[in-house]
Amino acid sequence: MVLNILNYNYTLNQPIFKYALRKAQDSSQALLDNKRLMVVGGVATQLTMIDETHLLRPTNDIDFISNRPVAKPERRQWASYLSKLISDDGLPNKGGLSRYGGEVRFEGLQNDLLVHLDCFGPEFYKRHRKRLDAEFERSEVADVNGSNVYYQHPIDIIVNKVRRMNSLNRNGLEFDSETNLFLSLLKEGVIDGIETERFRRDIDDIVSERQKNVEDLGRLSYREIFDQVQGYKVKKDIYDICGVIDSMRRCGRTVDRGDFIDSLKLALVDLE
């Protein structure tokens, strides 16, 4: 296994990042059978927090998923299509297949910028179709440079980050008492009662910790680096969850505890 540790430098405050996001959404035209694309993860979090531009957590990639399985030839077709869209605008890039799907990498930039189409096999979709259909059905939409970009609903952002935290914990990553409390509250659906200021760290601390991971590559063992990176993922997930909760509160949006727990149960089913 190779640890992919890159500097994270992009937010929706930057024109090149918005450009990449819009072009990637437009690339859904390359998929067969009217498949839909949706932004997930860190960029979905940025879109949710777009009014708090000073709080956006930098990233280096844009992750999309499809609502149906995408076979390898279609992944290659998607990457070629998106690569051409970008090349036609005079920007060098390279499109192809990655371990988990399709990938387009911008070239000639000071820092890495990638677009991913994360693909799962037919069995995964069969097993998780109810959850995925629900996520696509309630996806949100944002206007990005004139294109409608679909992204995860805030609740699904939280659910999927809880799922990852729970998986890391079950696989041996030890949490401190505050993180254990945070995870317990989320798994109980106590979203509206979470004091985000208690758990959320400053964005500068998150960025600094990411940089420390990069600097430590040459002097720590693989296992130490691996644990450190997983620990960083937990911290950034906590930051993102708190940011999403705060954004919902500012907009007067509430979370139905029953609906949240039902969604979480569907997301955790493959961990049982």
What is the Cα–Cα distance from 191 to 257, expressed in whole angstroms?
8
Same domain, 36 and 107: yes
pLDDT digits (tens, 9 = 90+) for 226-265: 777 788 889 999 999 999 999 999 999 988 888 899 889 8
Same domain, 146 and 170: no
Q: Give me the domain span that covers residue 52.
A: 15-152
Among 95, 128, 152, give the residue marking a domain's end: 152
Lowest mean pLDDT among 84-88, 115-119, 148-152, 217-221: 217-221
pTM for this prediction: 0.89
What is the Cα–Cα distance from 34 to 170, expressed in whole angstroms?
38
Q: How many domains does the chain have?
A: 2
Q: Please, are residues 39 and 82 in contact by the beta-carbon 8 Å criterion?
A: no
Residue 94 domain flag: yes
pLDDT at residue 7 tops 70: no
Q: Give me the pLDDT at residue 216, please.
A: 63
Residue 8 domain flag: no
Strands (E), 16-126: 37-40, 61-66, 93-97, 101-106, 114-118
Q: Please, are residues 264 and 135 in contact by the beta-carbon 8 Å criterion?
A: no
pLDDT digits (tens, 9 = 90+) for 102-130: 999 999 998 889 999 998 889 989 988 99
Same domain, 69 and 109: yes
Same domain, 94 and 148: yes
Burial of 250 (0-12, 13-18, 19+ CB in 10 A): exposed
* Of residues 168, 171, 229, the one with CA closest to residue 2: 229
Among 152, 177, 203, give the residue marking a domain's end: 152
Residue 217: other Cβ atoms inside 10 A:
13
Same domain, 73 and 134: yes
Same domain, 137 and 264: no
Among 118, 152, 186, give the residue marking a domain's end: 152
What is the Cα–Cα distance from 36 to 240, expressed in whole angstroms?
25
Residue 67 sits in a domain whose CATH number is 3.30.460
* 3-class state of residue 68 by DSSP: coil
> Which residue reads 């805030």 in tokens?
154
Residue 61 phi/psi, 5° resolution? -140, 160
Same domain, 208 and 132: no
> Which residue reads 């399709």 in tokens?
102
End-to-end CA distance of the chain: 25
What are the contacts of 122-131 at 24+ separation with CB within 8 A? 122/69, 124/69, 125/68, 125/69, 127/270, 128/266, 128/269, 128/270, 130/266, 131/263, 131/266, 131/267
* Of residues 270, 241, 255, 226, the one with CA closest to residue 48: 241
